[in-house]
Amino acid sequence: MSDPGPADLGPADLGPVDPVAVMGEPDASGRFGRFGGRFIPETLVAACGELDTAFRGAWADAGFRAELDGLLRDYVGRPSPVTECHRLSEAIGVRVLLKREDLNHTGSHKINNVLGQALLTRRMGKQRVVAETGAGQHGVASATAAALLGLDCVVYMGEVDMERQALNVFRMRLLGAEVRPASSGTRTLKDAINEAMRDWVATVESTHYLLGSVMGPHPYPWLVRELQRVIGDEARAQCRALLGGADPDVVVACVGGGSNAAGIFSGFADLPTVDLVGAEPAGGAAVGRGVPGVVHGSKSFLMQDEFGQVREAESISAGLDYPGVGPEHAHLADTGRVRYEAVTDEEVLDAFVALSRTEGIIPALEPAHALALVLRERAALAGRTVLLNMSGRGDKDVAQVSDILGPDAGASRRLHQ
């Protein structure tokens, strides 16, 4: 393993709370505070260094930025709008705004990061990408970008997730990607990442690992956040236009690895009057239940037992079924800039139904976690304005939810419980 910084992995006292932890560049060792770094085999050190150099060069290259911006505009459909939820807001007494990443091409925020990394792959002279996916949205986005740019694409997906996201598996294959099942361990997202990293180690000279979230070894957490920063930058300007120059009181997003949350939080982290809140699944609350540890190349909060073994995460959402969290989220929790709360599967299903019936918007199960938190805390949020990142649409989840709710589509579920 290689890591340029200190590697103490035990619990530590939290430092003083920083009311405004601006989401800037990590330090020279790739760390956000005491989290991050590179805990990787020596065979990957050069690849991570190459990626760091390539991204810095590309990000400073007006031509690269113009090409990416053009794709985001003309291919993805950015900027995604901010939608005000009038009926839901009236019902719960909270003014709710949605940043509509569900309206992007491929149906989620994942395409923002994927297009940037696919362009980087071509810039580095590589022809093949490997990716991991849980809910399937990152896999679909990766297959889409590979088809667009003529890259070979292999996507690893846990066998359990392949069963509950069969539609996305078909979409990936239709787009020309090879989907390989991860059959070890829990057969979910964690194991798909393991398989993708094994592939990358074996083929590193010709392959780029198109990592889907703000985790992994440096520079991935920073690189992915910067590629998702477009969400927060757009939302900040859109909210001020909608709110007469004001900012929302609260910004909330779901957190698994945490790329959609990092993207929208980055637009508001420097504003101390804006509360930032992350919603984790109760069965995989890495911030709430984890302790510092190393997984998939970086140090962060991690669910583990007393022997340091990774504990299994559980979530109704395949995209949040992960035992860790991106290292910058661990830092934001450490400093107190972001509050992280866990919600249950039952609360998520209530939110899934509530948004569908009040606004005609069927959310993905992932952002339904964020809405579940808003519904639970509506008394405390009364009269405030909440911006929620609607990071994906629910098409991929309707079959799974149908099996759970039954043929009456959860008719007995009520908004007020």
Each residue's pLDDT, cut to its tens digit, for the chain (417 residues) gives: 444 433 333 333 334 445 445 899 999 999 999 999 999 999 999 999 999 999 999 999 999 999 999 999 999 999 999 999 999 999 999 999 999 999 999 999 999 999 999 999 999 999 999 999 987 899 999 999 999 999 999 999 999 889 988 989 999 999 999 999 998 877 887 889 889 999 999 999 999 999 999 999 999 999 999 999 999 999 999 999 999 999 999 999 999 999 999 999 999 999 999 999 999 999 988 998 899 999 899 999 999 988 888 888 888 987 797 889 999 999 999 999 999 999 999 999 999 999 999 999 999 999 999 999 999 999 999 999 999 999 999 999 999 999 999 877 767 666 644
pLDDT value of position 171: 95
Tell me how far apart the alpha carbons of residues 256 and 56 are, in angstroms, rounded to a whole number: 26
31-68+109-220 and 76-108+230-405 share one CATH topology? yes
Tell me how far apart the alpha carbons of residues 279 and 264 are, in angstroms, rounded to a whole number: 13
Domain boundaries, the chain: 31-68+109-220, 76-108+230-405
- Taking a C-beta distance cutoff of 8 angstroms, is the pair 310, 286 a contact? no
Contacts of 175 (CB under 8 A, 6+ apart): 140, 143, 144, 146, 147
**pTM for the whole structure:** 0.92
Tell me how far apart the alpha carbons of residues 224 and 57 are, in angstroms, rounded to a whole number: 15
Q: Given 85, 153, 239, 254, which residue is catalytic?
A: 85
Half-sphere exposure of 233 (CA within 13 A, CB side): 9
Q: Given 48, 86, 105, 109, which residue is catalytic?
A: 109
In the block, which residue shows the tokens 């800037």?
Answer: 24
pLDDT value of position 15: 41
SS3 sequence of the chain: CECCCCCCCCCCCCCCCCCCCCCCCCCCCCEECCEECCCECHHHHHHHHHHHHHHHHHHCCHHHHHHHHHHHHHHHCCCCCEEECHHHHHHHCCEEEEEEHHHCCCCECHHHHHHHHHHHHHHCCCCEEEEEECCCHHHHHHHHHHHHHCCEEEEEEEHHHHHHCHHHHHHHHHCCCEEEEECCCCCCHHHHHHHHHHHHHHCCCCEEECCCCCCCCCCHHHHHHHHHHHHHHHHHHHHHHHCCCCCCCEEEEECCCCHHHHHHHCCCCCCCCCEEEEEEEHHHCHHHHCEEEEECCEEEEECECCCCCECCCCCCCHHHCCCECCHHHHHHHHHCCEEEEEECHHHHHHHHHHHHHHHCCCECHHHHHHHHHHHHCHHHHCCCEEEEEECEEHHHHHHHHHHHHCCCCCCCCCCCC
Tell me how far apart the alpha carbons of residues 258 and 220 are, in angstroms, rounded to a whole number: 12
Domain 31-68+109-220 architecture? 3-Layer(aba) Sandwich (3.40)
Query: Residue 358 has which token pair?
Result: 């009040």
Q: Is 109 a catalytic residue?
A: yes
Q: Is 48 a catalytic residue?
A: no
- Does the domain at residues 76-108+230-405 carry the CATH identifier 3.40.630.30? no
Query: Residue 152 has which token pair?
Result: 């070979």
